[in-house]
Structure 1
């Protein structure tokens, strides 16, 4: 994927997020994360200018979906999700799914490690994973990579 295919949608998203003055922090973060995820997904389709259109459409769709998810997640939801993600990355075998739920809000999700490897440059153990959040019947899926730091915590690297 070419660098400009990511930079252009990210800049578009920043403008979109900046125009929405009444968004809270979690909604803005959701918009940005959704846009980046949508751009990456959109880049998988087409070639040349068709791929750029896919990136743009993916960015806009991801920004909208991410905004809606971000608006709905509160601090407690994010804390439960983060704790579950840390536990899953530390102890769950690749391909096995762990679940979490906030009993107060009903928000729930899953975390599934999809690949485990040792980073050659840093010698850190890293894991690719899929994370799904279900809010009010709407499901949002994201993919990421986290690496294990010397203190035992997992730091998201993308």
Structure 2
């Protein structure tokens, strides 16, 4: 269960952080809640078996939504700008590190691979985050959108 929870946390954190970069009109907490619920529900459906699948899906959705809201609340506009700047400017393998003075959360982002998907530049990355004193490591892929923001692809 701990391994599953870590997976859900990592995936939710990754999705919240990058999706917050897109100008969707939603705030980070709303985006985190929705994406966390989706990720949690998907993970829960894979965990349960038989009649327990429905229960696991519901529990996963609720837990993911709660975690996503918390993480979305903690990843502010400044953090999204720092994250996008790291993806935009850092050479592969170079890390950007920053602390949020309002939350005391710490982040570091390292682009690990750069490639094009059609005409879109994309970057794989590793992010280390310490949120509310809890360390987490996230790996993902983000692509630059036409408006210059970075959005998680996987």
TM-score after normalising by structure 1? 0.56
Do residues 36 (structure 1) and 45 (structure 2) align? no
The answer on whether the counterparts of 2:105 and 2:133 sit within 8 Å (CA) in structure 1 is: no
CA gap of 1:64–1:148, structure 2 versus 1, over 3 A, is closer
CA gap of 1:139–1:39, structure 2 versus 1, over 3 A, is farther
**Structure 1 SS opposite 2:150:** strand
Q: What is the aligned partner in structure 1 of residue 81 from structure 2?
A: 83
1:140 shift after superposition: 5.5
The answer on whether the counterparts of 1:114 and 1:130 sit within 8 Å (CA) in structure 2 is: yes
1:58 shift after superposition: 3.3
The answer on whether the counterparts of 1:109 and 1:133 sit within 8 Å (CA) in structure 2 is: yes
**Alignment match of 1:129 (pick from 125, 130, 139):** 125
The answer on whether the counterparts of 1:117 and 1:126 sit within 8 Å (CA) in structure 2 is: yes
Report how many residues are paired: 127
Q: What is the aligned partner in structure 2 of residue 6 from structure 1?
A: none
The answer on whether the counterparts of 2:129 and 2:137 sit within 8 Å (CA) in structure 1 is: yes
The CA distance in 2 between the partners of 1:30 and 1:145, in whole Å, is 18
Q: What is the aligned partner in structure 2 of residue 58 from structure 1?
A: 60
CA gap of 1:48–1:132, structure 2 versus 1, over 3 A, is farther
TM-score after normalising by structure 2? 0.57
1:137 shift after superposition: 1.1
1:55 shift after superposition: 4.8
CA gap of 1:139–1:65, structure 2 versus 1, over 3 A, is farther
C-alpha RMSD of matched pairs (Å): 3.5
CA gap of 1:36–1:111, structure 2 versus 1, over 3 A, is farther
Q: Between the two structures, name the one with larger relative contact order (CA 8 Å, sep ≥ 6).
A: 2
Which runs of no fewer than 5 residues in structure 2 stay unpaired?
Answer: 1-26
**Alignment match of 1:113 (pick from 88, 94, 111):** 111
The CA distance in 2 between the partners of 1:59 and 1:130, in whole Å, is 25
1:36 shift after superposition: 2.9
1:63 shift after superposition: 1.3
